[in-house]
Amino acid sequence: MKKYLTDGYKPEALFRYFEEISAIPRGSKNEAKISDYLEKFAGERGLFCHRDKLHNVLIKAPASAGYENQPAVLLQGHTDMVCEKNSGTRHNFLTDPLELYIEGDWLRARGTTLGADNGVAVALMLALLDGEVEHPALECLFTVQEEIGLIGAGGFDYSLISAKCMINLDSEGEGQAVAGCAGGCRTDITLPYEPVPAAGETVVLKLGGLAGGHSGMDIGRGRANAIKLMGRLLLALRREVDYNIISIDGGLAENAIPRECEATLAVGDALAVEKAAARFAAEISAELSREDAGFSLSCSRRELPEYMMSAADTKTVAAMLASFSNGVIEMSRDIPGLVEYSRNLGIVRTHADKVCFAVSTRSSLEARIDASCDYLSAFAGLCDAGAEHHSRYPGWKFDAVSPLRDKYIEVCRQVLGREPQILTIHAGLECGIIKAAVPDMDIISIGPIIKNIHTPDEALNLPSYERLWQIVTGILRK
């Protein structure tokens, strides 16, 4: 009888630790329990452990015999995960363990994100610290709140780090190393409104079934944004029927392309809305990419609440959603296929007297991030809304010379039998913050094959994770 779901995969400790941390809820801002686990792990093994007020954890292990004269290596990853689930999935991310299952060579979580982003890093560092292989001095940094703005990495005291080479384990893709990344910024837009007494019938429009994905890595794949589609639908409805918005809610994270959006409307003719929505659904289905083939739009009735938005506020909200500049803004002029500048409307939420929008901007050029912040402030101002910019983080410029990258290439040839790719990516990595804090740090970012991150379809390729272990330990032996 199997004790662990992943019994049979090697090394056992690597997969055992992944299963153990999957039982610990660790969404962003809920990392205290996983940090408790890490502290206990270090204490039981007599290892140096530092935990800061944010719950970042640094664990150090001395060099193995024969490796005392080798330079220390920093390994780094984040403990938090994006918490997304399918509609109808009963899962409390604050309290419930993930329900893992294996499908072929893929590890998944039932109805939720898997947290391989970045649980693969946490488990791999734990297996190394557990003495699975010989190694130079190790410094393992477990950061928090990466998924909501690289906050943990931004608040860590890097004077505690002595290593000058670093392996970040927060990439997805076998046989490729990231050697540069975009910077970014988050923006919160708040639109106040005056509730008015509700009248008419209530119709709930629910748009879903989209592929979603990472707002950096997947933004160039042409996947639809559910919030933007809802804005388009609301403007189209205006041509045929009168309505007032009661509420609109969609998306779960600024850095995830929203898969679902729900708008509740007060209408005079519910049947007309349903017919118009059906036509809209047919039109949109013909436009969407194959990746969004699961698109659906449903209409249902609900009891009329006490309040709704005024006609003027309804018009403003619909116009904001439809006119927001979203997605790829500019491609790189130097690297074919690389998105250089993008914006993602990731969340919309309706409260008692305000509608809140959350946006993620990415670019490798600081001037373009500045320009996006200016655009968002101006956009909000035109709508009598306010904009607050926060969680800004630097990009990571490609270094032409990297001894660590050379070692990675050599080991990849041995493990994979082929040349690896060296990439720069349109996503924010903690590497940019760490490089800014320790300018002479030699960094690569690598990982196993993970698909559909930030969605309930997230899946980790188990054989690829085994090979990542071989690559990391091969580098450490060199």
Cis peptide before 11 (omega within 30 of 0): yes
Average pLDDT, integer, range 392-405: 92
Do residues 428 and 168 make contact, with C-beta atoms less than 8 angstroms apart?
no
Average pLDDT, integer, range 400-404: 94
pLDDT digits (tens, 9 = 90+) for 310-332: 999 999 999 999 999 999 999 98
pLDDT of residue 335: 83
Percent of the chain past pLDDT 90, that is, above it, reads 91
Average pLDDT, integer, range 375-397: 95
Contacts of 452 (CB under 8 A, 6+ apart): 211, 213, 458, 459
- Spatial distance between the Cα atoms of 163 and 161, rounded to a whole number of angstroms: 6
Average pLDDT, integer, range 1-23: 91
Q: Where are the alpha helices (DSSP H) in 195-345?
A: 226-238, 270-287, 311-323
Q: What is the sign, positive or negative, of the torsion defined by CA atoms of 321, 322, 324, 329? A: positive
Average pLDDT, integer, range 359-368: 94
pLDDT at 29 over 60: yes
- Spatial distance between the Cα atoms of 95 and 220, rounded to a whole number of angstroms: 35
The two tokens of residue 220 are 């160039």
Q: How confident is the model at residue 275 (pLDDT cuts 50, 70, 90)?
A: very high
Least confident of 58-67, 211-220, 351-360: 211-220
Q: Which residues make beta-bridge pairs with 176?
A: 421
Note the pTM of the prediction, 2 decimals.
0.77
- Spatial distance between the Cα atoms of 453 and 212, rounded to a whole number of angstroms: 9
Q: Which of 476, 478, 452 is nearest to 169 (CA)?
A: 476
Q: Which residues make beta-bridge pairs with 203?
A: 265, 301
pLDDT digits (tens, 9 = 90+) for 427-461: 889 999 999 999 999 999 999 999 999 889 999 99
Q: Where are the alpha helices (DSSP H) in 46-199?
A: 116-129, 151-155
Q: How confident is the model at residue 37 (pLDDT cuts 50, 70, 90)?
A: very high
pLDDT at 1 over 70: no
- Give catalytic residue positions: 80, 146
Torsion angle defined by CA atoms of residues 362, 367, 370 and 372, in that order, rounded to the nearest 10 degrees: -50
Left (φ > 0), alpha (ψ -120 to 50) or beta: where does 308 sit?
beta
Burial of 306 (0-12, 13-18, 19+ CB in 10 A): exposed
- State the average pLDDT for the chain: 96
| Bridging pattern class, strands 327-331 and 213-214 | unpaired
pLDDT of residue 428: 86
pLDDT of residue 454: 87
Enumerate domains of the chain plus CATH numbers. 12-182+395-477 (3.40.630.10), 185-393 (3.30.70.360)
Average pLDDT, integer, range 58-62: 98
pLDDT digits (tens, 9 = 90+) for 235-271: 999 999 999 999 999 998 888 999 999 999 999 999 9
pLDDT at 118 over 90: yes
pLDDT of residue 244: 98
Average pLDDT, integer, range 73-87: 95
- Spatial distance between the Cα atoms of 436 and 434, rounded to a whole number of angstroms: 5
Q: How confident is the model at residue 2 (pLDDT cuts 50, 70, 90)?
A: low
pLDDT of residue 478: 85
pLDDT of residue 434: 97
Percent of the chain past pLDDT 70, that is, above it, reads 100
pLDDT at 21 over 90: yes
pLDDT of residue 397: 86
> Could you give the 3-state DSSP secondary structure of residue 159?
helix
Q: Which of 120, 141, 7, 5 is nearest to 61 (CA)?
A: 141
pLDDT digits (tens, 9 = 90+) for 119-176: 999 999 999 999 879 999 999 999 999 998 899 999 999 999 999 999 999 999 999 9
- Written as one letter, the residue type at 461 is N
Q: How confident is the model at residue 180 (pLDDT cuts 50, 70, 90)?
A: very high
